[in-house]
């Protein structure tokens, strides 16, 4: 299991060229590489309630957000900082365009995601639970151990990772036959 207190996180790839390096010696995944791999995704819907705050206070400058597993993500101006209600320390940025399209306010300041997510265990992709995987989420580069995380892909192709324990707590299989279309109303 990934030890969040470990003091050494593997070096991140050099992104100065504008593209991610090839998938070696660990795995490096971005939106383009996901499309080129034969990944078997299953469709899920999230059942958890979240809090969200729009980052637009003046002066509005990008903020660095550190995830529970030590990744640094960027919260841009106008984006939303989202957290689980039951664990406020579990927070992440969501772009304004995505948040306003797929989240619904269910009570004052409380939101639920209303769109399905394609998910696959990272260990199924790598074939090894212990391999280190680097994922370019669009808000930053995240490095995790495959056996502890799922790869998530939204309808728009945006990718991110979710801890296995969180997946087990808040995701359920998507069922289009139940009238649960997993989409937001326009």
Which pLDDT does position 184 carry in this prediction?
33
Q: Is residue 183 part of a domain?
A: no
Range of the domain at 54: 27-175
pTM, 2 dp: 0.75
Q: Is residue 52 part of a domain?
A: yes
Which pLDDT does position 11 carry in this prediction?
43
Q: What is the tens place of the pLDDT at every residue in 125-179?
A: 999 999 999 999 888 899 999 999 999 999 888 899 999 999 999 999 998 765 5
> Which structure tokens are listed for 108?
């004052």
Q: Is residue 15 part of a domain?
A: no
Averaged pLDDT in 10-residue chunks for the chain of 186 residues: 35 44 62 89 95 88 87 92 89 93 94 95 94 91 94 92 94 76 37
Q: Is residue 9 part of a domain?
A: no
Beta bridge partners of 147: none
Count of structural domains, the chain:
1
Q: Is residue 74 part of a domain?
A: yes
Which pLDDT does position 161 carry in this prediction?
95
Residue 41 burial (CB < 10 Å; 0-12/13-18/19+)? middle
Tell me what percent of the residues of the chain surpass a pLDDT of 70. Answer: 81
Which pLDDT does position 49 carry in this prediction?
94
Q: Is residue 39 part of a domain?
A: yes
Which pLDDT does position 12 carry in this prediction?
40
Q: How far is CA 117 from the centre of its chain?
A: 10
Which pLDDT does position 80 carry in this prediction?
94
Does the bond joining 25 to the residue before it have cis omega, within 30 degrees of 0?
yes
Question: C-alpha angle 124/19/9, rounded to 5°?
Answer: 60
């Amino acid at each position: 299991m990934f030890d969040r207190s470990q003091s050494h996180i593997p070096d991140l790839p050099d992104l100065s060229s504008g593209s991610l390096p090839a998938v070696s010696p660990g795995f490096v995944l971005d939106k383009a590489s996901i499309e080129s791999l034969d990944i078997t995704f299953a469709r899920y819907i999230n059942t958890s309630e979240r809090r969200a705050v729009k980052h637009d206070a003046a002066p509005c400058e990008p903020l660095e957000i550190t995830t529970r597993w030590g990744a640094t993500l960027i919260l841009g101006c106008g984006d939303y900082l989202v957290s689980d209600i039951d664990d406020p320390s579990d927070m992440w940025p969501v772009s304004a365009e995505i948040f306003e399209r797929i989240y619904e306010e269910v009570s004052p300041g409380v939101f639920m995601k209303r769109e399905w997510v394609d998910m696959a265990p990272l260990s199924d992709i790598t074939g090894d639970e212990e391999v280190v995987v680097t994922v370019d989420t669009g808000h930053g580069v995240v490095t995790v151990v495959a056996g502890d995380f799922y790869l998530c892909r939204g309808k728009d192709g945006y990718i991110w990772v979710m801890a296995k324990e969180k997946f087990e707590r808040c995701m359920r299989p998507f069922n289009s036959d139940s009238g649960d279309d997993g989409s937001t109303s326009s």
